[in-house]
Amino acid sequence: MKNIVKLILTACAALVILCLAAVLIVTVIVDPNEYKDEIVQLVKKKTGRKLSFNGDIGLNFYPYLGFNVGPAALGNAPGFPDHDMARINKAEVSLRLIPLLSGKVSVGKVLLDGLSLHLAKNSQGVSNWDDLAGSSNEEETEPADLPTDSKDSGSGMNFENISVQGVEITNANLLYTDLQDESETSIENLNLNLGAIQGTSSFPFELGFELKLNQPEIALRPHLSGKIQLTPETDTVLLDNLALSVLDLHLTGQIHAGTQGGTPSFSGNLKLAETSLRELMDKLGVKISDMSDSNALKGFSAEIQFDGTDNSAKVKSLTVKLDGSTLTAEGQVVNFTSPQISINAEVDSFDADRYLPPQSKSESGSKPGQNTEASDSAQPATEPSLDVLRNLILNARLRIGRFKVNKIQATDIQIDVDAHDGVLAVAPSFNLYDGQFEAQTRLDANNETPIWSGSGSLQKLDIRSLLHDLLGKDVISGSASVEYDLSGSGLTPDGVKKTVCGSASFAVTEGAVLGVDVAKMIRDSWNKIMRADEEGNETGNFNFSSLEASAKVKNGHIINNDLLFDSPLVEANGAGWADLPAEKVDYKAMITVVGSLDGLEGEILDTVKDIPLPLRVKGNLSAPSIGLDEEVMAQLLVTAGISVGLDTLADSLLGNPDDDESSDDEDGINNSDDDESENLFGDLF
C-alpha cells in the first residue's frame, strides 16, 4: 500500500515538474514578438484597421505568469480622420501559478497606463466604434440553448477562490466629438485605483479625472472614493462610504444594487453637505441677477433616501434646506414608459422677496401705459407646448406654512394637483390677512388650443393690512369678499384677454378710504367752478358702510351695472365697461351728498346736497384719468343756482316773513339775498 502511495506521489511530482519545465521552456524559447505581424494582419482582416506595436510584448514566469505590452495603437475607422482611435503606453497582467494547483485563481495587479481613446460621431450620425460593436444579425444567430446560469455550467469555480491584487489605471484620456451638434467632451488625467479583491470582502476604490465640455462650457475635477462589495450568490453590489467632491460640493452616502426575484433593484441614501449655490453657479458660469438679499443662495444642503427597480423609483424621504427654509418630501414614479407620479411635499416657510431684484431696480423702467420701442417690436407670444401634459399622470400635494412675495404674506397654503388624460386640475387654498381663499382651476390640453376654467372665493380679507404690507402705507380699510367664475381658451396674454368669459363680484364692508378728504375734494371742485381760491391741504378719512359690485365678462369685455356705495356723507351707484383686448375703460359713478361733514356745509352743502355728482374713470386701462366730471357738475350747479335765484327773486318781491332780522339799506331794501344771487350767477357765467 505504501509503495502505491509513494508511486502516485512520485508521478504527481513528476507531472508538476514537467508542467513547470514546459512553461519555462515556452517563456525562454518562444518569443511573442515574432507573432506581431500575424496579429496585425488578423486585426486588419477582421476590422480593416491598423494595429501597430511601438514596443515589445513580454512574458514573465515566476512567481507570476505575466504578460505585458509596450506602446501600441489601433487606427481609426474608415471615413474618419487619420489618427489613432486608441493607444496605450503600457499594459500588464499576471497570474500566480502555485494557487492554481489548489483550484484558486490569484491574479496580480492589473496595470494600464497612458490609455488614450478618441471616440467620434460624424455629421451623418455614424460612430467610429460601430464596426467594432458587431451587427444585430450576428447576435441573433447565437444558439438559444447555451447555458446562461453560471451555477449550472459545471465549471465548479467559486467566486471565493478568485482574487486580484488590484487594478491601476493611470494617465488615461478620452475625447468624444459629435459633429452633429458640434459638441466636444473630454476626460483627461483619469486615474483609477482598485484595492485587493478577495471573494466577497469589500475593497477600496478611488477615481479622479478632469471633465471638460464646450456646450455648455464647463470644466470640472471630480474625485470619488469608497468601498465596493460584490456578492455573486445574490447578484448584489454595495457601494459604501461613498465620498464625491466636485467644485464645492461634498456628497456622501451608500448605494446598493442587485436583483429581487429576477428584477433589478436599487436603494441608497445620499447627503450633500451645506454649500453656497451662489458660488457654485458662479464657477459654472451661470449669471445670477441682483437680489434684494445679497446673502441669498448661500446656504444649501440636501439629504435623500431612495429605492426602486428597473421600472419604478421611490423617494422615501427628501430634505432640502435653503437659506433657513426647509423642504421635506416623498414621492414615487411608477412605469417609466408611461409615468405615474405621486408627490407629497411640505415647506415650513419661504421668503421669495429675498430672491427678487432690489426694489430700486424693479421700480425703474417704463411707466404704466407708456409704449416703448421694445414693446412695439416684440414678437407676439405663442402657445406653449403641452405635449408633456397630455401623457402625464400626476397626483401631488404641496403645503407651505408661511409664504411671502412682494411683501404680501400668506399662511397655511395647500395646493393639490391632479393630472390625467390630458387634463390638469389645481386646487389652491390659503389664509390671507384673516381671509380664506379657495379656488379650483382646470386646464384641458387635448385640443389644439387649450381650454381653461377657474372659480374661487376670498372671504373676510383685511384690506388695510394687505395694502399696508404691499404699498408700505395705509390706503383703504375694510373687510372684503371676492368671488369669480371664469373660463376661456389659450394661454397667451392676448388669448386670455380675447376669450375670457364668466362673472365676478366683490363687496367691501365697514371700510374707509384713508387719507382722502372727500369734503375737501367737493369744496375744491366748487371753488374751481366759482373761480375762488382752493383751500388748505388738510386731510382726513372717508368712511363708508359698504361698496359692492358684480360684473359679466364676455370675450374680454367687462360690463358692470350695479355698483353700490353707501356712506354717512354720500351714496353712489355706477355703471360702465372695460375692454381688456383694447385696454380701454369708461366708467361713471354718480355720487350724491346725503349728509354733512366738517368743512362741508352752508352754501356748498345746500347747493350740492341731493344732487348726483358724476365721477368719471376713462382712458387707458393701465393709467386711466379719474376725477369728478366738472362739465356735468357745472351744469348741475347752474340748475341749482337758477333755483336759488328764483327763490331769492320771490323773496324780494313778496317778502320773506321768516326773515324778520334782516337789515335794510338807506332805501329800506334788503340786499343780502340779491347779493348772493348776483354773485352766484356772475361767477357761473
pLDDT in tens, 499-524: 999 999 999 999 988 877 666 676 67
| Same structural domain, 25 and 103 | no
Render 583-640 in DSSP notation, one character per residue: TEEEEEEEEEE-S-BTTB-HHHHHHHBTSEEEEEEEEETTS-EEEE-HHHHHHHHHHH
Band the pLDDT of 603: cuts 50, 70, 90. Answer: low
Taking the CA atoms of 566, 572, 573 and 576 in sequence, report the sign of the dihedral they define: negative
pLDDT number for residue 238: 95
Tell me, yes or no, whether 303 lies in a domain: no
| Same structural domain, 14 and 41 | no
Tell me, yes or no, whether 307 lies in a domain: no
| Same structural domain, 74 and 120 | yes
In this model, does residue 62 exceed pLDDT 50? yes
Q: Quick one: average pLDDT of 414-418?
A: 98
Q: Which residue has the cell 381688456?
A: 580
The helix, strand and coil proportions of the chain, stated in percent and rounded to the nearest 5, come to 25, 45, 30
Band the pLDDT of 546: cuts 50, 70, 90. Answer: very high
Q: Which helix (H) or strand (E) holds 289?
A: none
At 459-478, the pLDDT tens digits run 999 999 999 998 888 889 99
Distance CA 348, CA 324 (A): 9
| Same structural domain, 621 and 654 | no
Band the pLDDT of 73: cuts 50, 70, 90. Answer: very high
Q: Which of 149-163, 209-223, 231-245, 382-396 has the lowest mean pLDDT?
A: 149-163
User: Could you tell me if 107 and 93 are in contact, meaning their C-beta atoms sit under 8 angstroms apart?
Assistant: yes
Tell me what percent of the residues of the chain surpass a pLDDT of 90: 45
Beta carbons within 10 angstroms of residue 401's beta carbon: 14
| Same structural domain, 237 and 119 | yes
Distance CA 250, CA 242 (A): 10
Q: Which residues, in sequence order, are bridge partners of residue 613?
A: 591
Q: What is the pTM of this model?
A: 0.73
Answer with the one of 199, 231, 246 that is the final residue of a domain. 246
| Same structural domain, 109 and 242 | yes
C-alpha of 490 from chain center: 22
**φ, ψ (nearest 5 deg) of residue 37:** -65, -40
What average pLDDT does the chain have? 81
Q: Quick one: average pLDDT of 412-421?
A: 96
Of 589, 574, 573, residue with least CA distance to 629: 589
At 110-165, the pLDDT tens digits run 999 999 999 999 888 889 888 776 544 444 445 445 454 444 444 445 667 788 88
Helices marked H in 204-302: 277-283
Task: Name which residue leads in pLDDT, 542 or 670.
Answer: 542
Q: CA geometry: angle at 481 spanning 478 and 483, to 5°?
A: 160
Residue 224 structural domain: 37-130+160-246
In this model, does residue 663 exceed pLDDT 50? no
Of 230, 319, 229, residue with least CA distance to 269: 319
pLDDT number for residue 22: 53
Band the pLDDT of 104: cuts 50, 70, 90. Answer: confident
| Same structural domain, 23 and 73 | no
Task: Name which residue leads in pLDDT, 240 or 63.
Answer: 240
Distances (CA, A) of 320 to 252, 272, 327: 15, 9, 5
Q: Which residues, in sequence order, are bridge partners of residue 73?
A: 52, 87
Band the pLDDT of 539: cuts 50, 70, 90. Answer: low
Q: Which of 138-147, 193-202, 405-414 has the lowest mean pLDDT?
A: 138-147
| Same structural domain, 501 and 608 | yes
Helices marked H in 485-601: 493-499, 518-529
Tell me, yes or no, whether 212 lies in a domain: yes
| Same structural domain, 126 and 208 | yes
Rounded-to-10 torsion of CA 323, 324, 330, 336: 0
| Same structural domain, 122 and 220 | yes
Which amino acid, 75? Answer: G
Q: Which helix (H) or strand (E) holds 132?
A: helix 130-133
Q: How many domains does the chain have?
A: 4
Tell me, yes or no, whether 458 lies in a domain: no
Q: Which of 346-350, 389-393, 676-680 has the lowest mean pLDDT?
A: 676-680
Which amino acid, 411? Answer: T
| Same structural domain, 15 and 103 | no
**Most confident of the following: 362-371, 589-598, 603-612, 658-667:** 589-598
**Most confident of the following: 119-128, 366-375, 553-562:** 553-562
Answer with the one of 194, 212, 246 that is the final residue of a domain. 246
Of 439, 348, 345, 347, residue with least CA distance to 394: 345
Q: Which residue has the cell 460593436?
A: 133
Which amino acid, 539? Answer: T
Name the DSSP letter for residue 152. Answer: G
Helices marked H in 378-517: 387-390, 463-471, 493-499
In this model, does residue 599 exceed pLDDT 70? no
Tell me, yes or no, whether 95 lies in a domain: yes
pLDDT number for residue 424: 96
Tell me, yes or no, whether 302 lies in a domain: no
Tell me, yes or no, whether 600 lies in a domain: yes
C-alpha of 668 from chain center: 89
| Same structural domain, 650 and 592 | no
Distances (CA, A) of 407 to 196, 283, 350: 61, 32, 12
Tell me, yes or no, whether 114 lies in a domain: yes
Query: Can you give 45-93 as a three-state secondary structure string?
Result: HHHCCCEEECCCEEEECCCEEEEEECCEEECCCCCCCCCCCEEECEEEE
Task: Name which residue leads in pLDDT, 309 or 532.
Answer: 309
Distance CA 490, CA 499 (A): 8
